[in-house]
């Protein structure tokens, strides 16, 4: 009887290997699922971040336009001797602006040489207004290429430009600052976007175009479709955009998502900002939320009325793989047969002492081996992801250093500007010569800036007096005349505020007659924020760094009143390009990161 029980126990112990296999597999699967979920969350965060910067319709218009221009440039390089009518330009245009690109008008021009005007060679619209478009295109092309135009011709062309694209259109601005940029215009009494550009070779032959997209269409839908097409939503991944206000529509990619009952229940539960804002503020938006067999990730899109979402497969395995299920059934069946044979026929396996010892030894080592494999798998995943986390932390630290360095440089500008304001030599020059001594003042400022420890670059200096007279100096990488345009615009509000201060401090002083700038005055009158004018807004930020956009770049500046014998008499303004600061900061942080983490290779990019 004792022998029978011993054999029975030994057969039952044969379950240990398959139990260990199931235990090890589930533990390894749990470890893999944990890290795969973390990878999926990283991917979802990156993909939603990519989506959030791809919803601006003007960005898509400019990207498609730039690609089309490159194709025209290739045609110009390879087939410069051929007649434009023999080139496949209509086919290229159709392929370049195919759906989901919004409805548009495309006017393509060809200029044989610098001495001949451009003419229309293709349009997807009725060409009845071709002469007007040819005049406007030649006007913009001449303005961008700095080609001379007679005064009467210039007036005629400007008049035609305003007739075609609205009374607010200015040739010099569109020709130079807005080339390749989606510009708001009024086209055929309809708000529209205009993009114009051209490709030119050394002999002056050029291909150019006008791309016009009317804004009375559903551009938001088209923008989301273009975003989905570019980011792979609807093809590689399921996702879309749900409205956070009831007056807007939802957009799903692919469309069949909306037919899922589980998804419909979630959509109804999340609600809108009108009814569910308190719940959103308390609970936040879903992240890695289980929706059927998927996990749902969401993100608010800046400056949009929609919430972006992404559906990715749920990586949690609830069923065993086929091979493990088969092994379970086979092992259980064999053990059952061995038990029945032993109980009914008294024929047991492992009859000899050596076979029993071998079986007991193998059974005893099965569980430790399973634990070892599980621990090794966990260690490998932990080590691999620890390296990834270390790189991620290094990049995060680099970005934080980048922001801190930019703030440090801004503080350096404030310190050196304070030095300019208190420099006795500058005050003596201004007291003796006023704005007529601007050249000497600018030279002194440049000398002080070059002598500063930070050696911060200054791209523009402006000096104003009580009469509104101004002197400017620009250099460095600043686009030609961009700083002067900005400084002229701010000249009137600067002078107005300065005169108001002097009136309060010295009511007996007779102020000189103020110089009028009609263009600046008109621009000031069009500026209103919270019922306050531009003078109020500018005065709020005196002696502080102010960021603004100019042309295609971003400019920062600081200004204050210069005192002569403790009395406000002049306004001094200095400016610098944001790109110059970024260049300095990137270089500093690249060196710092290279010294601290020489094994990491890093590349930095900026938005064009």
Do residues 338 and 7 touch, judged by C-beta distance below 8 A? Answer: no
Mean pLDDT calculated for residue range 224-235: 87
> What gap in Å lies between CA 465 and CA 441, rounded to an integer?
13
Mean pLDDT calculated for residue range 546-555: 67
Indicate the pLDDT class of residue 550, thresholds 50, 70 and 90.
low
Q: How is 478-493 classified by DSSP, letter by letter?
A: PPTTHHHHHHHHHHHH
For 108, phi then psi, to 5°, come to -115, 135
Same domain (yes/no): 202, 285: no
48 found inside a domain: no
Domain that holds residue 15: 2-31+320-379
Mean pLDDT calculated for residue range 458-469: 88
Same domain (yes/no): 136, 265: no
Same domain (yes/no): 83, 212: yes
> What gap in Å lies between CA 229 and CA 227, rounded to an integer?
5
410 found inside a domain: no
Last-in-domain residue among 190, 220, 250: 220
Q: What is the pLDDT of residues 129-161, one digit of tens each?
A: 889 989 988 998 888 888 888 888 888 988 898
Same domain (yes/no): 149, 238: no
Q: What is the pLDDT of residues 384-438, one digit of tens each?
A: 777 777 777 777 776 677 667 777 778 888 888 888 988 889 999 988 888 888 8
Mean pLDDT calculated for residue range 282-296: 83
> What gap in Å lies between CA 499 and CA 465, rounded to an integer?
9
Give the H/E segment covering residue 548. Answer: strand 546-550
Same domain (yes/no): 149, 64: yes
| Nearest by Cα to 463 from 411, 415, 498 | 498
Same domain (yes/no): 14, 116: no
| Nearest by Cα to 335 from 113, 17, 70, 6 | 17
Number of domains in the chain: 4
Which residues are registered as beta bridge partners of 25?
none
Indicate the pLDDT class of residue 602, thresholds 50, 70 and 90.
low
Residues 51-78 as b/e (b if ≥16 CB within 10 A, e otherwise) read bbebbbbbbbbbebbeebbebbbebbee
Number of other residues whose CB lies within 10 A of the CB of residue 138: 21
150 found inside a domain: yes
163 found inside a domain: yes
Do residues 509 and 482 touch, judged by C-beta distance below 8 A? Answer: no
Q: What is the pTM of this model?
A: 0.66
Same domain (yes/no): 243, 162: no
Same domain (yes/no): 216, 248: no
Q: How is 181-241 classified by DSSP, letter by letter?
A: S-EEEEETTEEEEEEEEEEE-TTS-EEEEEEEEETTS-HHHHHHHHHHHHHTBTTTBEEEE
> What gap in Å lies between CA 262 and CA 268, rounded to an integer?
10
Indicate the pLDDT class of residue 526, thresholds 50, 70 and 90.
very low
Last-in-domain residue among 220, 250, 284: 220
Same domain (yes/no): 13, 77: no
């Amino acid at each position: 009887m004792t022998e029978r029980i011993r054999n029975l126990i030994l057969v039952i112990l044969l379950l240990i290997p398959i139990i260990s296999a199931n235990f090890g597999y589930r533990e390894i699967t749990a470890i893999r699922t944990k890290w795969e979920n973390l990878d999926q969350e990283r991917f979802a965060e990156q993909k939603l971040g990519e989506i959030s910067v791809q919803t601006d319709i003007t960005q898509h218009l400019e990207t498609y336009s730039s690609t089309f221009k490159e194709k025209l440039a290739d045609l110009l390089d390879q087939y410069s001797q051929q007649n434009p009518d023999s080139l496949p330009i209509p086919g290229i245009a159709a392929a370049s602006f195919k759906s989901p690109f919004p409805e548009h008008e495309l006017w393509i021009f060809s200029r044989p040489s610098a001495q001949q005007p451009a003419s229309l060679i293709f349009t997807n619209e009725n060409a009845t207004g071709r002469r007007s478009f040819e005049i406007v295109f030649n006007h913009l092309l001449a303005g961008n290429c700095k080609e001379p135009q007679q005064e009467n011709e210039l007036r005629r062309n400007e008049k035609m430009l305003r007739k075609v694209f609205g009374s607010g259109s200015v040739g010099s601005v569109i020709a130079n600052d807005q080339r390749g940029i989606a510009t708001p215009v009024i086209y055929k009494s309809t708000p529209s976007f205009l993009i114009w550009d051209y490709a030119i070779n050394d002999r002056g032959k050029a291909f150019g175009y006008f791309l016009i997209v009317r804004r009375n269409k559903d551009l938001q839908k088209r923008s989301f479709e273009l975003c989905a097409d570019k980011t792979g939503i609807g093809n590689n991944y399921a996702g879309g955009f749900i409205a956070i206000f009831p007056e807007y529509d939802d957009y799903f990619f692919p469309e069949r998502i909306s037919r899922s009952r589980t998804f419909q229940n979630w959509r109804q539960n999340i609600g809108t900002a009108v009814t569910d804002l308190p719940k959103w503020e308390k609970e936040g938006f879903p992240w890695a939320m289980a929706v059927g067999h998927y996990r749902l990730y969401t993100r608010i899109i800046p400056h949009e009325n929609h919430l972006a979402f992404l559906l990715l497969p749920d990586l949690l395995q609830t069923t065993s793989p086929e091979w493990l299920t088969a092994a379970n059934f086979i092992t259980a069946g064999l053990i059952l047969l061995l038990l029945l044979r032993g109980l009914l026929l008294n024929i047991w396996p492992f009859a000899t002492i050596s076979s029993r010892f071998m079986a007991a030894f193998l059974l005893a080592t099965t569980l430790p081996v399973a634990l070892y494999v599980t621990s090794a798998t966990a260690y490998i995943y932990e080590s691999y992801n620890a390296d990834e986390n270390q790189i991620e932390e290094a990049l995060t630290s680099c970005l934080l250093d980048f922001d801190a360095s930019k703030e440090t440089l801004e503080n350096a500008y404030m310190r050196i500007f304070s030095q300019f304001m208190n420099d006795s030599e500058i005050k003596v020059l201004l007291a003796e010569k006023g704005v007529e001594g601007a050249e000497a003042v600018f030279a002194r400022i440049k000398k002080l800036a070059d002598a500063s420890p930070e050696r911060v670059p200054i791209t523009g200096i402006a000096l104003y007096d009580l009469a509104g007279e101004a002197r400017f100096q620009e250099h460095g990488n600043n686009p030609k005349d961009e700083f002067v345009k900005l400084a002229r615009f701010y000249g009137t509000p600067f002078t107005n505020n300065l005169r108001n201060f002097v009136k309060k401090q010295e009511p007996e002083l007779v102020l000189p007659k103020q110089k009028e700038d009609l263009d600046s005055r008109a621009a000031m009158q069009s500026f209103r924020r919270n019922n306050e004018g531009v003078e109020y807004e500018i005065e709020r930020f005196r002696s502080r760094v102010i960021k603004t956009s100019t042309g295609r770049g971003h400019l920062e500046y600081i200004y204050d009143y210069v005192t002569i014998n403790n009395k406000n008499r002049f306004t001094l303004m200095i400016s610098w390009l944001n790109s110059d600061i970024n260049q300095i900061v990137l270089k500093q942080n690249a060196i710092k990161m290279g010294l601290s983490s020489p094994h990491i290779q890093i590349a930095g990019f900026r938005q064009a």
